[in-house]
Amino acid sequence: MPALIDLTGQRFGRLVVESSERVKKNGESYVYWICQCDCGNRTKVKAIYLTRGETASCGCLSKEILTNRNKSHGLSNTRQYRIWKDMIKRCENPNSAPHQYYFDKGVKVCNEWRNNFQSFYDWSISAGYKENLTIDRIDTAGNYEPGNCRWVSMKHQSNNRTNNRVIEFKGLKRTVAEWEDITGIRSGTIRARIDKYKWSIEKALTTPVKKVI
């Protein structure tokens, strides 16, 4: 095994080498250098990545570059930008709500969008974005990516959610929002009739709403 070149004390970009650590993986021995990053974090890096200049921070540098790139488009105050940020947050942050429908199920944002807001913005325009529409995944088990997303109304999206309530009446299974379209009775009224006033499904869906004069 060749002699270990001591990198202790040397600086590589934002990283300063503090010490080394030998790690065995699959019967092979590797040397990692423990580095202190200017941002305060510590990270382990192989010597070859340091000397070649392939690793220059704990990861904070690439995050800053990405942030600056996405801010440079001048669209950070748009609704699409907020949608983009929220989309990434609910897929990557286990503390975001409702994480059980995204993070817990492994839903991802494709790299094309995740790493480039401009790409997402361009898609949104070509896909018919409007201020009153929301982004919707066609396959709710799939990821956020061009082939699986569209812009739809809030009502349409509620019909596509896996947690939407389904009511069966005369052999038809429809969501509450769909029954609103069929009967003309507001979905809130249908739910109140069934849950609060304990009406039967038939009575809740067939009784006309009294008009207040």
Q: Following DSSP, what letter does each residue of 125-163 receive, concatenated?
A: HHTT--TT-EEEESSTTS-BSGGGEEEE-HHHHHHH-TT
Task: For residue range 189-210, list pLDDT tens digits in order.
Answer: 898 899 888 999 999 999 998 7
**Which of 46-50, 66-70, 89-93, 181-185 comes out lowest in average pLDDT?**
66-70
> Residue 140: is its pLDDT beyond 80?
no
Task: For residue range 57-105, list pLDDT tens digits in order.
Answer: 888 877 776 666 656 567 888 999 999 999 998 888 877 766 667 877 8
Amino acid 104: pLDDT: 76
Q: Tokens 């109304």 belong to which residue?
A: 153
Amino acid 49: pLDDT: 83
Amino acid 159: pLDDT: 60
Return the amino acid letter for 145. Answer: E
Do residues 8 and 20 touch, judged by C-beta distance below 8 A?
Answer: yes
Closest listed residue to residue 81, CA positions, set 26, 135, 40, 11: 135
Mean pLDDT of 122-131: 92
Task: For residue range 160-180, list pLDDT tens digits in order.
Answer: 554 467 788 988 888 787 788
Amino acid 2: pLDDT: 53
Amino acid 98: pLDDT: 65
> Where would I find the beta strands (DSSP E) of the chain?
11-12, 15-25, 28-37, 42-46, 134-137, 149-152, 166-169, 172-175
Closest listed residue to residue 169, CA positions, set 143, 201, 142, 137: 201
> Residue 144: is its pLDDT beyond 90?
yes
Amino acid 125: pLDDT: 93
3-state secondary structure of 16: strand
Can you say whether the dihedral through the CA atoms of 84, 87, 92, 97 is positive or negative?
positive
Name the percent of the chain lying above pLDDT 90: 30
Tell which wins on pLDDT, 157 or 115: 115
Amino acid 36: pLDDT: 94
Give me the count of residues in the chain: 213
Q: On the CB side of 113, how many CA atoms lie within 13 Å of its CA?
A: 24
Query: What are residue 150's phi and psi, to 5 degrees?
Result: -155, 170
- 183-195: string of b/e by CB count within 10 Å (b at 16+)? bebebeebeebbe
Do residues 202 and 169 touch, judged by C-beta distance below 8 A?
Answer: yes
> Residue 26: is its pLDDT beyond 80?
no
Mean pLDDT of 104-109: 86
> Residue 187: is its pLDDT beyond 60?
yes
Local structure of residue 195 (DSSP, 8 states): I
Q: On the CB side of 196, how many CA atoms lie within 13 Å of its CA?
A: 6
